[in-house]
């Protein structure tokens, strides 16, 4: 069993622990540097954690919140990660945080990589805290197995911090096939990481990811890269 794996009885307890860990890390960084950066994943898992974290009394005005990845849909689309963050995290005390969107007016993410890299880079050296999720297929961020752009995302050349992903040839195809994602450089260099995973179906995938091939289970790249800076939280 990986010593970083924390198994909790239910998703409420897991979300509360994840929120506490993030609050602690952000507070620690603010105390040291006067500012902090928090890069978060979307999807369904972090919702409760966001709501709990939003009520923490941090110096949120010193925190920059950004995305680990984004579906290339309008910011008011029901499946937009930006929408989820604005609605569930950037409220109450946390509404004072500075938010850094990924989605731009560009038709496709590839056209926006340079501009978003320029906007994100100042907050990634290193980022203070990263919240990751995992799909049953072993992806994290938008690192979908077999997707186009995955090599550049997982093994970035020339220090790229942002990559465009085309998941057309994966089960993610369709409306959400175009993605933008942080690359493994900022992800693996984060000062602290939280991997929040729910459900029995993902427990098996997590076990494979802890020991498997990172090409098949891209989340392993983050698990290996973050090492002991990562807390893996799982609940049924
Ligand atoms: C996204 C996420 C992605 C997510 C996993 C898990 O945009 O979908 O950033 O990496 O963390 O797909 O998603 P769930 O929490 O919905 O299972």
Distance 172 CA to ligand 1 centre (A): 11
**What is the per-residue pLDDT across 71-106, written as a single tens digit (0 to 9) for each?**
999 999 999 999 999 999 999 999 999 999 999 999
pLDDT-above-70 percentage for the chain: 100
Long-range CB pairs of 222-227, under 8 A, 24+ apart, other chains included: 222/132, 222/140, 222/141, 222/184, 222/187, 222/188, 222/193, 222/195, 223/195, 224/188, 225/184, 225/187, 225/188, 225/189, 226/187, 226/188, 226/190, 226/193
pLDDT-above-90 percentage for the chain: 93
Which of 192, 203, 198, 219 shows the shortest CA–CA distance to 20? 192
Distance 112 CA to ligand 1 centre (A): 21
CB 29 within 8 A of CB 35: yes
What would the two tokens of residue 71 be? 């579906």
Q: Which atom of ligand 1 is nearest to the CA of 69?
A: 9
Pocket of ligand 1, beta carbon within 6 A: 41-45, 68-69, 71, 81, 133-135, 140-141
What would the two tokens of residue 82 be? 């930006």
Which of 197, 204, 193, 169 shows the shortest CA–CA distance to 68? 193
Q: How many CA atoms lie less than 13 Å away from 175 in the CB half-sphere? A: 6
**What is the per-residue pLDDT across 183-193, written as a single tens digit (0 to 9) for each?**
999 999 999 99
Q: What is the pLDDT of residue 211?
A: 87
Distance 32 CA to ligand 1 centre (A): 31
CB 65 within 8 A of CB 127: no
**Could you count the other beta carbons within 10 Å of the beta carbon of residue 28?**
15
Phi and psi angles of residue 180, each rounded to the nearest 5 degrees, phi first: -120, 145
């Amino acid at each position: 069993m990986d010593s970083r794996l924390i198994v909790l009885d239910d998703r409420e307890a897991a979300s509360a622990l994840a929120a506490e860990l993030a609050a602690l890390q952000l507070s620690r960084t603010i105390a040291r540097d006067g500012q902090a950066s928090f890069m978060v994943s979307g999807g369904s898992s972090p919702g409760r954690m966001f709501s709990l974290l939003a009520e923490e009394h941090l110096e949120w005005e010193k925190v920059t919140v950004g995305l680990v990845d984004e579906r290339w849909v309008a910011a008011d689309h029901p499946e937009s990660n930006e929408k989820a963050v604005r609605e569930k995290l950037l409220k109450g005390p946390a509404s004072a945080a500075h938010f850094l969107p990924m989605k731009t007016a560009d038709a496709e993410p590839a056209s926006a990589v340079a501009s978003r890299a320029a906007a994100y880079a100042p907050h990634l050296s290193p980022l203070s805290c990263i919240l990751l999720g995992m799909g049953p297929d072993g992806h994290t961020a938008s690192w979908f197995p077999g997707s186009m752009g995955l090599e550049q995302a997982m093994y970035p050349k020339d220090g790229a911090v942002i990559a465009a992903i085309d998941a057309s040839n994966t089960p993610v195809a369709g409306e959400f096939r175009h993605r933008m994602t942080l690359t493994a450089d900022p992800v693996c260099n984060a000062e602290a990481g939280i991997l929040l995973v729910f459900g029995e179906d993902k427990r098996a995938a997590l076990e494979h990811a802890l020991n498997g091939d990172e090409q098949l289970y891209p989340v392993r790249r983050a698990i290996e890269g973050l090492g002991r800076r990562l807390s893996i939280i799982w609940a049924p």
